[in-house]
Chain A
């Protein structure tokens, strides 16, 4: 019997990290590894704790850093909502 029942997908290490990660409260707490640039500090001067704003250039750096599907049933979720299009494109 080589036919295995379909098991629920296991969350990736990246998704598990996302689920257990704390919310960053202040952008000044982090020193980013090169070549990652910190967000524009002017955006967050005098901002309440945890109310962070981010410039486009900072946000774009995440495009290749977080590539995992955001949930185990994501493929089905996209099929149900956006529809049965071709394979969703992945980050290049």
Chain B
């Protein structure tokens, strides 16, 4: 095999400046990394300590990364979901988006990437512990760790959507609750244009037809199910966050199911 500058790239060849040395070639002396399409921020919600907790004090930004290598540095050195206390959450969101239903900055106009984020959809999957055992019968421990890992990999690898122009994925979340885990996928819209969404054929834009919006969201839901290894008969519900916030409930009425 011959590289572009004509030198051989067989084992033992001198490393030229042009050669692409990955972490697989040399874990301690590589010169290229695998970029992600977006920067991602990992957030953590601490369990409430008692009374008087402020949400802002409980929601912590852990780290932002933009390469495959760095993702694994984080994942390999952080508490697995299965070892978190009840009422903890991990959120993995595109950089610049806070994992909150109603970002306070939006109410006051806001700016930048989050200004168009008014209504948020989520596809949530309620996973009782016994269902996890059923989904992963050969796993003796912590199938939630594998599931959450696969959800994160689908997000950062950008395989949840058909292409970047779909533009609906905001982030993914896992909630640790008594007796179950919940894995959620947050999308930008509920399939409609949003204030400040612009005129274009983008998620939330006026130029995107309702049919296309629905196709994108349904496709996303299907892919999400695939990642979670759900059987076709098992249902993922999509529900509007704005609605949830108004009703004060985390279990908003489903808009549609996949």
Residues of A at the B interface (CB closer than 8 Å) are 12-15, 17-18, 20-24, 29-33, 36, 43, 50-56, 58-63, 65-71, 74, 77-78, 80-83, 85-86, 88-91
- Whether A83 pairs with B46 at a CB distance below 8 angstroms is yes
B84 to chain A, nearest CB (A): 8
Complex contacts, B154 vs chain A, CB 8 Å: 56
A68 to chain B, nearest CB (A): 6
- A sample of 19 more A-B contacts (CB under 8 A), given A21-B32, A52-B35, is A17-B28, A17-B29, A24-B35, A33-B25, A51-B37, A54-B156, A55-B157, A56-B227, A59-B68, A59-B156, A60-B153, A63-B72, A65-B24, A66-B27, A67-B76, A68-B73, A70-B70, A71-B63, A89-B83
Given contacts A31-B9, A70-B65, contact A17 B76 (CB under 8 A): no
For chain B, the count of residues having a C-beta within 8 Å of the partner chain is 51
- Whether A21 pairs with B31 at a CB distance below 8 angstroms is yes
Complex contacts, A12 vs chain B, CB 8 Å: 28
- Whether B33 pairs with A21 at a CB distance below 8 angstroms is yes
CA distance A49 to B73 in the complex (A): 25
B178 to chain A, nearest CB (A): 18
Which 7 A-B residue pairings sit nearest by Cβ, starting from the closest? A70-B73, A13-B28, A81-B60, A54-B157, A21-B33, A23-B35, A66-B72
Given contacts A36-B24, A82-B60, contact A65 B33 (CB under 8 A): no
A interface SS class: loop
CA distance A67 to B84 in the complex (A): 21
Complex contacts, B69 vs chain A, CB 8 Å: 18, 21, 62, 65-66
